[in-house]
């Protein structure tokens, strides 16, 4: 397809995806846009493509960190800070993000992630990288025997966002930071045999994935596949996130789907957290409104949630339904119940047919709409398999917009 001067084609979706629900998800740029040298008019067209399709892929690039930063920053020109704060990831040693990110010294908004030992890399004399492995985070990991046979898991479904303080979620994301856009660039993506991602939640669901894939799901599809009662709850609800959520969750374990935490009471106690203020806790809508299409995206970081705040049904809605959840609204603070409700909202949206597992090649650049998709690391590498990726996301200048009164009236 051709949009102005930018020529695109659909993403190479695997046979596992439900083609009916992937008609507008993701495009690959074939020609007409150079990420290292573009005009304001070309960028406007790229921005529209991203908000309409949620994921934009470039192939075969040789991209310096400063060019990646420039491109990502163009989506929100007032932003300067990495989604968790420049140079902050190495300072929070208790954060679950600490082992995964190494800051590029000359461009602190860009992080080096991957696997293995890397030498002389953009100002880093040596970096010891470790691909996140579900064994370090899940309560009941895949056995070593099954892993040797190719079994793996989704590590952690998330949005890239600090979710605390004044760092708003990035609009375009290149990693795990604040809401907005993220860019993820494959400097070196080692090849290897495919794996089978198991859900291990009693459903029998599993998904064939390329080695080291990044898995994406659409927040719009996640909302659309819900039954009416859950859609109503989603559009009426907001989530309050824990203070310093990536420290708060550090001792907890994930569910086997990677979609939230087990109820074990292992979260870091308030008095053990770094200094925090309740006024700095973020409360964000469950559904975020796309600024270009007007569509709603169900966007929740399930591991970081602490409470659910529900608005009452709008006037007239009660007469149309008899099975509404929390019809009078309210605040749900029982953590087990909060997790149960959010899991019910999100689990249908990660069904195997709704997941796009990207097969990385050297030189791939993926831009994804961090306010429109959830994503997860998948798979495992041997220590001698060197993987080098650059991730960039910038804390946005504004918080995501939630549903309008008209949206709530439509879905409630």
Residues above pLDDT 90, as percent of the chain: 81
Bridge-based pairing of strands 180-188 and 296-298 is: unpaired
Predicted pLDDT of residue 396:
72
Residue 250: CB partners within 8 Å, gap ≥ 6? 94, 95, 96, 268
φ and ψ at residue 247, rounded to 5 degrees: -85, -45
Predicted pLDDT of residue 54:
97
pLDDT at 318 over 80: no
Residues above pLDDT 70, as percent of the chain: 91
Domain boundaries, the chain: 2-215+357-393, 220-350+402-411
For the record, the structure tokens of 360 come out as: 């990385």
Find the mean pLDDT for residues 313-323. 78
3-state secondary structure of 44: helix
Q: Which long-range contacts (CB under 8 A, 24 or more apart) does 310-314 make?
A: 310/233, 310/236, 310/237, 311/236, 311/237, 311/408, 312/236, 313/232, 313/236, 313/412, 314/405, 314/408, 314/409, 314/412
The Cα-based distances of 206 to 42, 152, 200 in angstroms read: 40, 10, 8
d(CA 310, CA 305): 14
Find the mean pLDDT for residues 323-337. 96
- Taking alpha carbons only, the member of 123, 117, 119 closest to residue 104 is 123
pLDDT at 7 over 60: yes
Are the beta carbons of 379 and 295 closer than 8 angstroms? no
- Taking alpha carbons only, the member of 234, 228, 216, 94 closest to residue 158 is 216
pTM: 0.92
Predicted pLDDT of residue 166:
79
Q: pLDDT for 80-120, tens place per residue?
A: 655 444 444 444 557 776 566 899 999 999 999 999 999 99
Find the mean pLDDT for residues 51-60. 97
Predicted pLDDT of residue 181:
85
For the record, the structure tokens of 23 come out as: 């008609």
Q: pLDDT for 167-210, tens place per residue?
A: 777 665 433 334 468 999 999 999 999 999 999 999 999 999 99
Q: pLDDT for 349-374, tens place per residue?
A: 999 999 999 999 999 999 999 999 99
Find the mean pLDDT for residues 330-343. 98
d(CA 282, CA 162): 9
Q: Please, what CATH class does the domain formed by 2-215+357-393 belong to?
A: alpha beta
Query: Nearest 5 degrees, angle CA 222-CA 224-CA 230?
Result: 85
Find the mean pLDDT for residues 50-70. 97
3-state secondary structure of 173: strand
For the record, the structure tokens of 121 come out as: 């890399």
Q: What is the dihedral of CA 244, 379, 395, 296, to 10 degrees?
A: -100
Query: How many residues in total does the chain contain?
Result: 412
Are the beta carbons of 169 and 178 closer than 8 angstroms? yes
pLDDT at 316 over 90: no
d(CA 104, CA 109): 8
Predicted pLDDT of residue 322:
73
- Taking alpha carbons only, the member of 30, 28, 120, 106 closest to residue 69 is 106
Q: How far apart are the first and last CA of the chain?
A: 36
Q: pLDDT for 80-90, tens place per residue?
A: 655 444 444 44
């Amino acid at each position: 397809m051709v949009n102005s001067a930018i020529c695109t084609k659909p993403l190479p979706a695997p046979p596992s995806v439900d083609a009916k629900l992937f008609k507008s998800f993701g495009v690959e740029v074939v020609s007409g846009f150079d990420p290292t040298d573009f005009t304001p008019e070309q960028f406007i067209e790229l921005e529209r493509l991203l908000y309409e399709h949620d994921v934009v892929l470039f192939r075969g690039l040789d991209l310096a960190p400063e060019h990646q930063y420039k491109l990502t920053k163009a989506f929100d020109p007032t932003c300067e800070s990495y989604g968790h704060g420049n140079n902050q990831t190495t300072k929070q040693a208790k954060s679950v993000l600490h082992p995964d990110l190494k800051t590029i010294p000359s461009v602190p908004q860009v992080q080096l992630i991957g696997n293995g030992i890397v030498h002389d890399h953009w100002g880093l004399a040596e970096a010891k990288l470790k691909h996140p492995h579900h064994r370090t985070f899940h309560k009941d990991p895949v056995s070593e025997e099954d892993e040797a046979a190719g079994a793996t898991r989704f590590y952690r479904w998330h949005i890239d966002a600090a979710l605390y303080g004044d760092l708003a979620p990035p609009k375009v994301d290149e990693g795990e930071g604040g809401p907005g856009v993220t860019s993820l660039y494959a400097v070196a993506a080692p090849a290897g045999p495919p794996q089978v991602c198991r859900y291990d939640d009693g459903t029998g669901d599993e998904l064939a994935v390329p080695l080291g894939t990044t898995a994406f799901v659409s927040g719009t599809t996640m909302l659309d596949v819900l039954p009416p009662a859950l859609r109503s709850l989603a559009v009426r609800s907001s989530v309050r996130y824990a203070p310093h959520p990536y420290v708060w969750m550090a001792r907890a374990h994930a569910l086997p789907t990677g979609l939230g935490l087990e109820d074990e009471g292992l979260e870091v106690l308030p008095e053990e957290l770094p200094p925090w203020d309740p006024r700095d806790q973020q409360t964000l809508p469950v559904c975020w409104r796309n600024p270009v299409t007007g569509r709603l995206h169900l966007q929740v970081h399930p591991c970081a949630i602490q409470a659910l705040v529900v608005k009452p049904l709008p006037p007239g809605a009660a007469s149309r339904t008899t099975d509404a959840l929390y019809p009078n609204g309210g605040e749900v603070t029982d953590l087990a119940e909060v997790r149960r409700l959010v899991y019910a909202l999100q689990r249908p949206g990660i069904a195997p047919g709704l997941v796009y597992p990207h097969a990385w090649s050297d030189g791939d650049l993926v831009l994804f709409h961090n306010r429109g998709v959830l994503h997860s690391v998948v798979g495992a590498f041997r220590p001698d398999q060197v993987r080098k990726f650059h991730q960039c996301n910038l804390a946005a200048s504004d918080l995501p917009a939630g549903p309008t009164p008209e949206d709530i009236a439509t879905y409630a």
